[in-house]
Amino acid sequence: MLDVLIEPLSDGIVRRALLELVIAGAVAGPLGVWIVLYGQSYAAESISHSMLPGLVLAALAGIPLGIGAAAGLALAAACVALASRQRAVGPDAAVAVAVTALVGAGTLLALSPEVPVRLGELLFGDPLAVGTSDLVASAALALAVLLALAGGHRMLALSAFDPRSARSLGGSDPGSAALLLGLLAATILIAVTALGNLLVVAILLAPGATALRLSARLGPALAVGAASAIGAGVAGIYVSYWADVAAGAAIAICAIAICAVALLPRPRPRRGGGHILRRWNRA
């Protein structure tokens, strides 16, 4: 049994992939909790999908994908922000049109014969292709995101819980929204190499939903979010290694599976009883 866990670790590629997913999960899980609490799941999905043109253009120009992803995210965030202000057709429809247009433009570009990488890698990622320099960049960015999450914790909590009172309590609604959008872009940037622009939301939103289902308090929810995102990443890599399936897709399926288990109806806890999360939440 132990061999199942140890054998893959002898491969440097697998070790780097695992490290990358631990870093990405530690950030994506807690941020996912905030995204779900703010009701921004659709915006998160839209922004991550619509950065495709940036990724493809970076591949065409032969520059690092991270730079293309950053430019693509800026364009996507601007388009989604503009579309969400559309009152004539409604924000949902306008965002859907903007996302489809950007994904379509990215696909058209990706089908040109000059593109050196396969479209599949941009869409679904490849954790096993993560190099040491990617790891260093991810770790630095992840540290910045975690510091910003810690620093902005009270402001985010005030606005998410009670936006009408946030300002009088020292918070800021526009500040919280901007912080969340910035951290979302940075987190997608961290995880996109491993998971591609279609699957990146899986380790963001599924752990967020899992954590909020299992936790009655914010602190434990953020911790459960990180644990389930890291767990999904690590489990996915092992599944991919032993079942010989695509790693990105395996990670996404693990994240969804963990969420599905968390969403199962729970037995009613015994009086004064024993559910470990219940005790933790009340501590």
Partner 1 sequence: MRREAAVVARGLGGGYTAGRPAIEGLDFTVPAGTSVAVLGPNGGGKTTLFRALLDELPERSGTVEIAGPVAYVPQTERGRLDFPVSALDVALMGTYGEAPWYRPLGRERRARARWALERVGLAERAGDRYGDLSGGQRQRALIARALAGRARVLLLDEPFSGVDRPSAERILSVLGELREEGRVVLVSSHDIEQARRYDAVICVNGRQVFHGRPDAITPEILRRTYGGEIVELAGGGRAIVVQHHDH
Q: Which residues bind partner 1 (CB under 8 A)?
A: 37, 151-155, 157-158, 160-162, 164-165, 167-171, 212, 215-218, 220-221, 281-282
- Do the beta carbons of residue 2 and residue 214 sit within 8 Å? no
Nearer to partner 1, 130 or 212 (CB): 212
Q: Tokens at residue 147, please?
A: 């510091």
Alpha-carbon gap, residue 111 to 58, rounded angstroms: 14
Nearer to partner 1, 74 or 150 (CB): 150
3-state secondary structure 224-261: HHHHHHHHHHHHHHHHHHHHCCCHHHHHHHHHHHHHHH
Q: Please give the single-letter amino acid code of residue 111.
A: L
Other CB atoms within 10 A of residue 206 CB: 28
Nearer to partner 1, 6 or 270 (CB): 270
- Do the beta carbons of residue 124 and residue 196 sit within 8 Å? yes
- Do the beta carbons of residue 166 and residue 173 sit within 8 Å? yes
- Do the beta carbons of residue 204 and residue 59 sit within 8 Å? no
Name the minimum Å distance from CB 121 to partner 1.
37
Nearer to partner 1, 24 or 205 (CB): 205
Nearer to partner 1, 64 or 220 (CB): 220
Nearer to partner 1, 84 or 153 (CB): 153
Q: What is the DSSP string of 56-76?
A: HHHHHHTS-HHHHHHHHHHHH
Nearer to partner 1, 61 or 169 (CB): 169
Tell the burial category of 1 from Cβ atoms under 10 Å away from its Cβ (0-12, 13-18, 19+): exposed
Alpha-carbon gap, residue 130 to 119, rounded angstroms: 17
Name the minimum Å distance from CB 23 to partner 1.
23
| Cβ neighbours for 1, distance < 8 A, ≥ 6 positions apart | none
